[in-house]
Structure 1
Amino acid sequence: MNQSLRNEKSLKEAILINGDTDAYCELSIAYLDHPYQEEFLLYAMIMANKYDYPQAYFDVFDCFVLAYWFDISKIDEQSASLAIEYLIKAYERGHQQAKDIVEKYSINNNENCKQQIERIFK
């Protein structure tokens, strides 16, 4: 089981109040076993938007596409657009995994986002 050294509440507070990247990493690991993994999206968005944390931008992308892991073709255009937006932001901030995906699949803001998501995961 993926248990953190700190309790979930203190991790969330450290993220919300201080943008604590160590707490964020601990929380991301804790959420691997969490029954409601999609709750992690909130903390990823806060760390990305408020604290400009590259890993969080990638995690937002990941959360959106994981919600459709059963059939990526079911992702709606608005969700796909948000996912691509955060993937590109992660790439622009030097996130290596985002860089690999963006460059391999020629991801950009000018193409249909749903088609780009489907291309990545086909």
Structure 2
Amino acid sequence: MKTTNLTILVMVSFIFCNCKDNIEVKPKIEENSKSTLGVYQDYFNDKKKVNSLMDKIVFRGDTLAYKELSMIYALSGHRSDYLRVSLIMANKYQYAQAYYDVYNDLYRTNSYISGNKEETIEDLNLLDKETRNLAIKYLEKSASKGYTKAKKSLLLYNSKGELLENK
């Protein structure tokens, strides 16, 4: 009898443990949680932080500050406002990523809204001649400094902005 009770107890415990593992546990969502956009919007509105990063960029060419400020602008929905910062880092400090960012911002003038999301056509032929030539100039400078994304994009274009033939 003791063995039967013990067997039943072990079986009940085993069943209980297996059932417990199959219970779906849903994560607790806090009432005050913010989206990434909301958090970075707060960073964007924090003028003291933004000005501090901007000072590091303008006066010291600080690449970490540049990358942090780039994320703040991009993730807060203000990426198009970052062109002047990219120009400073490219022209004053010859920073390869900044040259690419200038190119990127220039061809993004071809952006349009499709449904609820922004679509960008990476086609320099859609730009006016002067803007296209400027974009290509910055892309070439970035690639010459070894920036991988620029090298990949440059493979798509020749000096006239036409697709290169793969050989």
Interval containing the TM-score (normalised by the shorter chain): 0.7 to 0.9
Bigger Rg, structure 1 or 2: 2
More displaced 10-residue stretch of structure 1: 33-42 or 84-93: 33-42
Contact 2:70-2:79 at 8 Å conserved across structures = no
Question: Is residue 20 of structure 1 aligned with residue 71 of structure 2?
Answer: no
If the length of structure 2 is used for normalisation, what is the TM-score?
0.59
Which residue number corresponds to residue 78 of structure 1? 130
Q: CA deviation at 1:58?
A: 0.3
Q: CA deviation at 1:78?
A: 0.8
Structure 1, gaps ≥5 residues long = none
Q: Give the total of aligned pairs.
A: 111
Per-residue displacement from partner, 1:16-74 (whole Å, max 9, x unpaired)?
11100000000110111344422200010110010010000000000001121236554
C-alpha separation between the residues in 2 aligned to 1:36 and 1:24? 15
Runs of 4 or more, structure 1, over 6 Å off, are: none
C-alpha separation between the residues in 2 aligned to 1:84 and 1:93? 14
CA RMSD, aligned part only?
2.2
If the length of structure 1 is used for normalisation, what is the TM-score?
0.79
2:143 aligns with one of 80, 85, 91: 91
Which structure would you say has the larger RCO, counting Cα contacts within 8 Å and 6 or more residues apart? 1
